[in-house]
Structure 1
């Protein structure tokens, strides 16, 4: 019988080395994402047009909070969510790594609001987004380090066959979420059930730098505008801030679509 002990020792050593390398890379990515100096620098070096859009979005977010006059805990959480999401989206538009610091904060506070409003699909979506923030910061950090341009992620495209695959995945997940939303007596279940599948597709494509993510985000933003308009009619927690936020997110998605499809090509 052959002596396999040496093989297993070598395999274990390789596994430990690989895990150690992953841990080291992830730690480096995490520290870069939450590095205060890098966060400030990446905001300061945004394009002029991006800064103008960011300012408008922040003013609209704060203005909707004041106009809504909801100074409860949920109202303040809604304001924090809005600011975090705006900064996250703006940084995603330009492929900046520090978007994930704001993305993690935004996901946590948005999850609190979704729970208070009993939006089952939204709860599932934000839970998924939160997990994917940590996946994304590792992948983006690794990809940016491989590029000649170290400032921002360079976008990629995929084939129509890939697009068909993700379309099928979207519908499968939609019907699964719809089934559970009915069982759990969720709110606006037919619209709400679309949030998770669209979010999964958008987030996965964003994580790996595909331009087509913006099609999923634009569709999701339109659905969210309808959902939060309906919530606004019944004066649900933080509904004013969240409704305005959805409009802001749609505008940003259209701007992101332009930058990832045309802006980077012009810059290069």
Structure 2
């Protein structure tokens, strides 16, 4: 079963990251449960989302196929939490991301190689590749266009509390997810910015509402881990290009 095999060959860093998020989410739940008032079902769903999300991005950084299974769990739970928090741009993204999980899995299955760090040939990693200069130009233009379209739509047709901040995450996330699906290592530059924006988004939301919530703290914790992982992801995907079968890309 690849869901279990994909945990083979983890470095101490990857084990530490996964352990940290589990402990952090448990601590957040216990704290808000203890003080009462701000602990709701949404708080529990947010914790599940964070744990699934970290499993997703860690597996993505490793180029492991199970990233799409954890990704599907994450988009469903995070989409619901975002809806309840009036972050409609994030909700729309999760719907699109849900579709991308199936497209990405199909694309990756056709482009995998055996992991060099384990003695089990069944443990597979994705073949990564890099953008050309022309690819960079089209990618950046697409990100800017999506940002303006999403920002104007959220501002004009919804009661989103932070439409243009929300739109930054929308534009960059769609581009980042597309690059991930197509196996480009430059996706990680976009995730770095997205993660920083998302930390700001949830922090500002709690400031606007004047309330510290379990889902807010849980989401910020998740995005901080995502930010650290995105730096590592670029490093690891760049390394993947040197260990995959010669002449593929």
Shorter-chain TM-score tier: 0.7 to 0.9
| Structure 1 equivalent of residue 204 of structure 2 | 230
Cα separation, 1, equivalents of 2:22 and 2:63? 19
| Structure 2 equivalent of residue 71 of structure 1 | 39
Aligned length: 230
1:258 corresponds, among 220, 235, 246, to 235
Corresponding residue SS for 1:152: strand
Q: Which runs of 4+ in 1 moved over 4 A?
A: 147-150
Contact 1:117 1:237 in 2 (8 A): no
Contact 1:195 1:220 in 2 (8 A): yes
Cα separation, 1, equivalents of 2:27 and 2:214? 17
> What pairs up with 1:66-105 in 2 under 5 angstroms?
66-69=30-33, 70-105=38-73
TM-score by length of 2: 0.86
Q: Which sits farther off after the overlay, 226-235 or 80-89?
A: 226-235
> What pairs up with 1:140-179 in 2 under 5 angstroms?
140-144=108-112, 147=113, 151-179=124-152
Q: Highest Rg: 1 or 2?
A: 1
| Structure 1 equivalent of residue 120 of structure 2 | none
Cα separation, 2, equivalents of 1:267 and 1:206? 17
| Structure 2 equivalent of residue 16 of structure 1 | none
Contact 1:121 1:181 in 2 (8 A): yes
Cα separation, 1, equivalents of 2:184 and 2:4? 26
Q: How far off is 1:142 after superposition?
A: 1.4
Cα separation, 1, equivalents of 2:127 and 2:85? 37
Q: How far off is 1:76 after superposition?
A: 0.6
Q: Which sits farther off after the overlay, 122-131 or 229-238?
A: 229-238
Q: How far off is 1:121 after superposition?
A: 1.1
Cα separation, 1, equivalents of 2:90 and 2:42? 16
Over the aligned positions, Cα root-mean-square deviation in angstroms equals 2.0
Q: Which runs of 5+ in 1 are unaligned?
A: 1-36
Contact 2:127 2:240 in 1 (8 A): no
| Structure 2 equivalent of residue 3 of structure 1 | none
Q: How far off is 1:148 after superposition?
A: 6.3
**Larger RCO: 1 or 2 (CA < 8 Å, sep 6+):** 2
Q: Which runs of 5+ in 2 are unaligned?
A: 116-122
Q: How far off is 1:181 after superposition?
A: 0.8
| Structure 1 equivalent of residue 98 of structure 2 | 130
1:195 corresponds, among 148, 165, 169, to 169
